[in-house]
Structure 1
C-alpha cells in the first residue's frame, strides 16, 4: 500500500542523487531550509535519510525536491514521528524549492510555508491561512521609525553597549548565550537547546548577525541564517533572546535594526533582492518591521 502511494506521489519524478539536487538549487535558487548543505547536515544529525527527486521535461532538469517519506525534508512532523521533536529549530521557515519559472511541476509531498516564488513553478499549491512576515526595505520604514532606531542604538552605545559580530564567538559560546537569553526572555527553554551548539556548528557558515553586550554581559542575540541564490538572497530569522532587565534600552529592537540594515546593505552591494523572513506573521512587533506575504501548502 505504501509503495502504491509513493508511486502516486512520485509520478513523473525521477530519483536522483544529492549532487543533482545541489545543481538544481544552484541553478534555480532556493531558501535557507532548502539549501543542499542545510538539508544534508540536519538530516544526518536527525539520522533520517533524504530521497531526492527531479522533474524533467525532455532531458532538461526543471525542478528538484528533497523528501522525507511523504513530506518535504526537514519537516517538523517527520521529526516528531521519529521521536525527535525539536531536535533543531529553523522556525517557520520560508520554503523556496529549486525550479524553473515555468516548470509547473506537480508537487505531491506535504509542505507548509511554501513561498509565493513557487507559484508557476509548481502546480498543486494551496493558499495557506497564515502568512509570513517579510522585512520591509529600509525605505518602507518611516523616517520617524528609522530615527528612533538610530537614537536607541546611540543611547545604548553611550551607556557602554557594544555590538559584536557572531563570528567572534565559538558555536558553544553562541549556543550558551542564545539559550540563556531565550529562557530569560520567554520563560521556557529554546527549541533544540540540547543540541543547539552542534546545530550552530553544522550551519556555522550560514550564520549572520551580531550580539549586543552591556557591562561585559550579553543582553541580546538573534539566530539568523543566510544563503545566497543566483537571483536573490534568503535570510531566516529563527528566534532571539534578550535580557528583560535591559528592556529600557530596547536591545531586541536595536538588534533587529542592526541585523536587517546590515543584510540590506550586503544584498544591495551584490545587486540582489533580499527575502528576510521573520517567520510567521503572528506577533505585533513583526508588523513594525515587516510586510505580511502569502504562503502556500501541499
Structure 2
C-alpha cells in the first residue's frame, strides 16, 4: 500500500541525487527553504533522509524538489511526527521550487506557502486563505513614514544606540541574545531554543542583517536568512526579539528599517529583485512594512 501511494505521488517524477538537485536550483532558482545546502544541513540536523525528485521532458531536467515522505523536506509536520517538533525554525517560509518557466507539472507532496512564482507551473495548487507578507520597495513607503523611521534611528543613536552586523557575533552569542530578547518580547521561549547555537552555526553562510545595542546591551535582534538565486534574492525574516523596557526608542522598528533598506540596496547593486518575506500576513505590524501577496498550497 505504501509503495502504491508513493508511486502515485511521484508519478511523472524520477529520483535524482543531491548534486543534480543543486544544479536544478542554481539553474531555475528557488528560495531559502529549498536551497540545497539549507535542505542538506537542516535535514542532517534532524536525521531525516531527503529523497530528491526530478521532472524530465525529452530527457532534460525541467524541475526538482526535495521530499520527506509525502511532504516537502523541512516540513514542520514531519518534524512533529518524528518527535522533533521545533528542532529548527524557518517560520512560514516562502517555498519556491526550482522549476523551468515553461513547465507545467503536478506536485502531490504536501506543501504550504508555495510561491506565486510557481503558481503557473504547478497544476492543482490552491490559494491559501492567508497571504504572504513581502517587504515593500523603499519608494513604496510614504515620505512621512521614511522620515519618522530615520528620526527614530537618529534618536536611538543619539541615546547611545549602536548597530552591529549579526556576523560579528559567534553562533553561541547570537543564540543567547536571541533567546533572551525573544523571551522578553513574547513571554515564551523561542522555537528550538536548546538547538539555537547549532542551527545558527549551520545557517551562518546564509545569515544576514544587524542587531541593535543600547548602553552596551542588546535591545533588538532579527533572524534573517538570505540566498541568491539566478533571477532574484530570497530573504526570510524568521523571527525577532526586542527588550520592551526600551520601547520609547522603538528599536524593533528601527531594526526593521535598517535591515530592509540594506537588503534592498544590496539586491539593487547586483541587479536582482528582492523577495523579502515576513512570513504569513497575520499581524498588523507586517502591514506597515509589507504588501500582502497570494500564496498557495498543495
User: Which TM class, normalised by the smaller chain length?
Assistant: over 0.9
Q: Pairwise mapping of residues 42-191 of structure 1 onto structure 2 (< 5 A)?
A: 42-191=42-191
Between stretches 119-128 and 84-93, larger displacement belongs to 119-128
Return the TM-score normalized by structure 2.
0.99
Number of aligned residue pairs: give it. 298
Runs of 4 or more, structure 1, over 6 Å off, are none
CA distance in 2, matches of 1:26, 1:124: 26
- What's the counterpart of residue 7 of structure 1? 7
Counterpart of 1:221 in 2: which secondary structure? strand
CA distance in 2, matches of 1:13, 1:167: 39
- What's the counterpart of residue 288 of structure 1? 288
CA distance in 2, matches of 1:170, 1:249: 26
Return the TM-score normalized by structure 1.
0.99
Shift of 1:125: 1.0
Q: Deviations over 1:213-255 (max 9, x none)?
A: 0010000000000000000000000000000000000000000
CA distance in 1, matches of 2:40, 2:128: 27
CA distance in 1, matches of 2:12, 2:174: 44
Please list every run of 5 or more consecutive structure 2 residues that lacks an aligned counterpart in the other structure. Answer: none
- What's the counterpart of residue 236 of structure 1? 236
Counterpart of 2:167 in 1: which secondary structure? helix
Please list every run of 5 or more consecutive structure 1 residues that lacks an aligned counterpart in the other structure. Answer: none
Counterpart of 2:123 in 1: which secondary structure? coil
CA distance in 1, matches of 2:90, 2:253: 21
RMSD: 0.5
Between stretches 112-121 and 82-91, larger displacement belongs to 112-121
CA distance in 2, matches of 1:24, 1:103: 13
